[in-house]
């Protein structure tokens, strides 16, 4: 059997903000083709871990390597990202932002220009806008979009360059039920068709169940479990049971 290549290799990663230590020694390898889900309570360090992998935060201690690509820069060329807290430039129009992201990431070659690349690309952007229910907003400024529409645009942007590594930080938060269901199907199909590597942060059973094959529990900056989804299903039957078992509150409080 051919061993899949390691895409990200994290060794003893520690990250603090002032006196507050958020990541307390993370060791983690992510392999090509893997679908990893990170679960954990609010503030446990999930987004900080993702941002560290993506080079947006510098570790205080430890290392993050990208064995398959060699450098962070080359790694990022293959990556699509949907941030939990991204701010879109308000004064831009929806189509302008998409073209900006698309244009920078996938500059066409002369041959592609000759082969109607731009026309194809515009069609593709239109199709994406339609799928994400933003077609009628293509020429609207971002500032008039609703929260859920901004979230849809964020997801569209993470996918428009057809990345083969995808990071999704709380994919369906803020989306209506219909959008949630179609988006899950869309990502699932994209994942299977292109055999991508997927890293998601999620609190939602249906998302974890559909999109991941490995679940990592981050608790207070430490990985406390790292399990295959097939083992979780064997042990707990459903993802809902698993999450309830893991996070069942011991007292009447949403805090630890």
Ligand X SMILES: Nc1ncnc2c1ncn2[C@@H]1O[C@H](COP(=O)(O)OP(=O)(O)OP(=O)(O)O)[C@@H](O)[C@H]1O
Q: Which residues contact 255 (CB under 8 A, 6 or more apart)?
A: none
Q: Which stretch binds Mg ion (CB under 5 A): 31-39, 46-54, 108-116, 212-220?
A: 46-54
Using the rule CB under 6 A, which residue among 10, 30, 36, 47 binds ligand X? 47
Encoded tokens for 34: 């893997």
Asked if 154 is part of the footprint of Mg ion (rule: CB under 5 A), the reply reads no
Q: How many CB atoms lie within 10 A of CB 96?
A: 15
Q: Which residue is nearest to Mg ion (CB)?
A: 47
Using the rule CB under 6 A, which residue among 5, 17, 63, 120 binds ligand X? 17
* DSSP single-letter state for residue 135: G
CB 79 within 8 A of CB 105: no
| Smaller CB separation from Mg ion, 15 or 46 | 46
CB 29 within 8 A of CB 13: no
Q: Which stretch binds ligand X (CB under 6 A): 45-53, 68-76, 128-136, 232-240?
A: 45-53
Q: Which residues, numbered 55-84, are part of the site for ligand X (CB under 6 A)?
A: 84
Q: Which stretch binds ligand X (CB under 6 A): 5-13, 37-45, 64-72, 242-250?
A: 37-45
Q: Which residues contact 108 (CB under 8 A, 6 or more apart)?
A: 117, 118, 121
Asked if 84 is part of the footprint of Mg ion (rule: CB under 5 A), the reply reads yes
- Rounded CA separation 208/244 (Å): 14
Q: Which residues contact 129 (CB under 8 A, 6 or more apart)?
A: 94, 95, 98, 135, 137, 138, 156
Q: Going residue by residue from 107 to 146, which x/- string records binding to Mg ion, judged by CB under 5 A? A: ----------------------------------------
- Rounded CA separation 100/81 (Å): 15
| Smaller CB separation from ligand X, 43 or 70 | 43
CB 7 within 8 A of CB 54: no
Asked if 52 is part of the footprint of ligand X (rule: CB under 6 A), the reply reads no
Q: How distant is the alpha carbon of residue 66 from its chain centre?
A: 17
| Smaller CB separation from ligand X, 46 or 95 | 46
Asked if 6 is part of the footprint of Mg ion (rule: CB under 5 A), the reply reads no
Count the site residues for ligand X by CB under 6 A.
11
Q: Report in angstroms the alpha-carbon separations of 79 from 156, 199, 248.
A: 14, 11, 35
Using the rule CB under 6 A, which residue among 13, 30, 34, 45 binds ligand X? 45
Which chain residues interact with ligand X by CB under 6 A? 17, 22, 40, 42-48, 84
Which chain residues interact with Mg ion by CB under 5 A? 46-47, 84
């Amino acid at each position: 059997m051919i061993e899949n290549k390691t895409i990200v290799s994290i060794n003893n990663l520690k990250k603090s903000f002032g006196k507050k230590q958020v990541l307390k020694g993370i060791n983690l390898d992510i392999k090509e083709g893997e679908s990893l889900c990170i679960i954990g309570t609010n503030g446990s360090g999930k987004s900080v871990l993702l941002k560290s992998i993506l080079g947006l935060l510098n570790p205080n201690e430890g290392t993050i390597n990208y064995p398959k690509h060699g450098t962070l820069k080359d790694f990022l060329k293959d990556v699509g990202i949907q941030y939990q807290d991204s701010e879109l430039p308000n004064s831009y129009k929806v189509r302008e932002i998409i073209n900006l992201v698309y244009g920078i990431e996938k500059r066409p070659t002369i041959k592609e220009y000759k082969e109607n690349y731009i026309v194809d690309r515009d069609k593709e952007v239109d199709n994406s806008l339609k799928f994400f229910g933003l077609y009628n907003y293509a020429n609207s400024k971002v500032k008039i979009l609703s929260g859920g529409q901004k979230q849809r645009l964020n997801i569209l942007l993470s996918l428009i360059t057809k990345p083969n590594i995808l990071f999704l930080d709380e994919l369906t938060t803020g989306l209506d039920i219909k959008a949630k269901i179609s988006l899950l199907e869309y990502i699932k199909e994209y994942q299977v068709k292109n055999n991508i590597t997927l890293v998601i942060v999620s609190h939602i059973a249906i998302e974890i169940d559909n999109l991941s094959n490995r679940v990592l529990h981050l608790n207070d900056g430490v990985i406390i479990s790292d399990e295959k989804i097939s083992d979780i299903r064997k042990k707990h039957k459903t993802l809902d049971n698993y999450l309830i078992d893991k996070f069942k509150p011991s007292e009447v409080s949403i805090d630890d």
